[in-house]
Chains A and B, each alone.
Chain A
Amino acid sequence: MAKKVQSNESYYVASQWQLMGRKLKQHKLARISMVILGILYFFALLGNFIAPYGTIEFDSIYKDCSPTKIHMYHEGEKVGPFVYKLSKISDKKTLRVTISEDTKEYYPIHFFTHGEPYKVLGFIPCDLHLFGVSEGSNGGKGARIYLFGGDSLGRDIFSRIFLGSQISLTIPFVAAAISLFLGVLLGAVSGYFGGRVDFIIQRIIEVISAVPQIPLWLALSAAIPPGISTIQIYFYMTIILSFINWTGMARTVRGKFLSLKNEDFILAAQLSGVSTWNIIWTHMVPGFMSYLIVSVTRSIPSSIIGETSMSYLGLGIKPPATSWGVMLQETSSVTNIVSHPNKLIPIIFVTVTVLAFNFFGDGLRDAADPYK
Chain B
Amino acid sequence: MNDEKTKETGGFFEGIASFFRRDLVSYIIKRILAIFPSLLLISFVIFVVIQLPPGDYVSAYIAKLTGQGEQMPPEVIEQLRADFDLDKPFMLQYWSWIKGIIWTPSNTTWYRLYGSHHNWKYSFSEGKPVWTVIREYLPLTVGLTLAVMIFQYLVSIPLAVYSATHQYSLGDYLLSFIGFIGAAVPGFILAIICMILAYKWTGNPLVGLFSKEMLENGVHWGNIGEFLKRLIIPFIVLGLGGTCGTIRSIRAQMLDEISQPYTLTARAKGVSETKIIWKYCFRAAINPTVTGLGTSLSHLFSGSTVSAMVLNIMIMGPVLYDALLSQDMYLAGAIVMVQAFLVEVGILLADIGLAFLDPRIRFSGGSR
Contacts and interface: CB of A to CB of B under 8 A. Distances in A.
A131 B273 CA distance: 60
B192 A309 contact: no
B50 A365 contact: no
Contacts of A354: 180, 183-184
A312 interface: yes
Contacts of A207: 38, 41-42, 45
Contacts of A369: 256
Interface in A24-65: 29
Interface in A288-339: 301, 305, 308-309, 312-313, 328, 331-332, 334, 337-338
A66 B50 CA distance: 43
B52 A223 contact: yes
A215 B323 CA distance: 10
Contacts of A92: none
Interface string B136-166: 0000000000000000000000000000000
A67 B336 CA distance: 45
Contacts of A210: 38, 42, 298, 339-340, 343-344
Contact of A355 (B46, B180, B302): B180
A72 interface: no
Interface in A195-233: 203, 206-207, 209-216, 218-220, 222-223
B303 A213 contact: yes
A75 B193 CA distance: 40
B38 A331 contact: no
Contact of B46 (A203, A211, A313, A372): A211
Given A212-B339, A215-B320, A332-B192, A350 B185 contact: yes
B163 to A, nearest CB: 11
A14 interface: no
B324 A331 contact: no
A351 interface: yes
Contacts of A334: 192, 195-196, 199, 205
Given A332-B310, A358-B183, A212 B53 contact: no
A218 B192 contact: no
B332 A215 contact: yes
B24 interface: no
A347 B344 contact: no
A348 to B, nearest CB: 10
Nearest to A247: B295
A355 B295 contact: no
B184 A223 contact: no
A211 B340 contact: yes
Interface in B239-296: 248, 252, 256, 259, 295
B77 interface: no
A371 interface: yes
B321 interface: yes
Q: Is the interface of B mostly helix, strand, loop or mixed?
A: helix
B252 A365 contact: yes
A355 B184 contact: yes
A17 B195 CA distance: 47
Interface in A122-166: none
Nearest to A302: B183
Interface string B37-49: 1100110011001
A276 to B, nearest CB: 27
A209 B339 CA distance: 12
B181 A347 contact: no
A27 to B, nearest CB: 9
A219 B186 contact: no
B305 interface: yes
Given A210-B42, A215-B336, A216-B49, A337 B196 contact: yes
Given A212-B302, A313-B306, A358 B52 contact: no
Interface size band for A: 35 or more
A344 B190 CA distance: 11
Q: Is the interface of A mostly helix, strand, loop or mixed?
A: helix
A332 B184 contact: no
A358 B185 CA distance: 13
Given A211-B45, A347-B189, A222 B53 contact: yes
Contacts of B343: 210
Contacts of A365: 252
B188 interface: yes
A371 B185 contact: no
B184 to A, nearest CB: 4
Nearest to B181: A351
Contact of B189 (A218, A331, A359): A331
B173 interface: yes
A338 to B, nearest CB: 6
A203 B38 contact: yes
B317 interface: yes
Interface in A338-372: 338, 344, 347, 350-355, 358-359, 362, 365, 369, 371-372
A305 B336 CA distance: 22
A309 B52 contact: no
Contacts of A344: 193
Contact of B298 (A212, A222, A331, A353): A212
A354 to B, nearest CB: 4
Given A211-B336, A351-B184, A219 B50 contact: yes
B236 to A, nearest CB: 16
B57 interface: no
Contacts of A222: 52-54
Most chain B CB inside 10 Å of its own CB: which residue of A211, A248, A358: A211
B324 A214 contact: yes
Most chain B CB inside 10 Å of its own CB: which residue of A209, A223, A312, A358: A358
A203 B180 contact: no
Nearest to A224: B53
Interface string B14-25: 000000000000
B77 to A, nearest CB: 21
Nearest to B44: A207
A335 to B, nearest CB: 10
Given A211-B340, A353-B184, A362-B176, 6 more contacts: A218-B324, A218-B325, A334-B196, A355-B181, A362-B248, A369-B256
13 contacts: A210-B298, A211-B336, A212-B301, A212-B317, A214-B302, A218-B321, A223-B52, A305-B186, A309-B186, A328-B186, A332-B192, A334-B199, A334-B205
Q: Which 3 A-B pairs have the closest CB atoms?
A: A222-B53, A212-B302, A354-B184
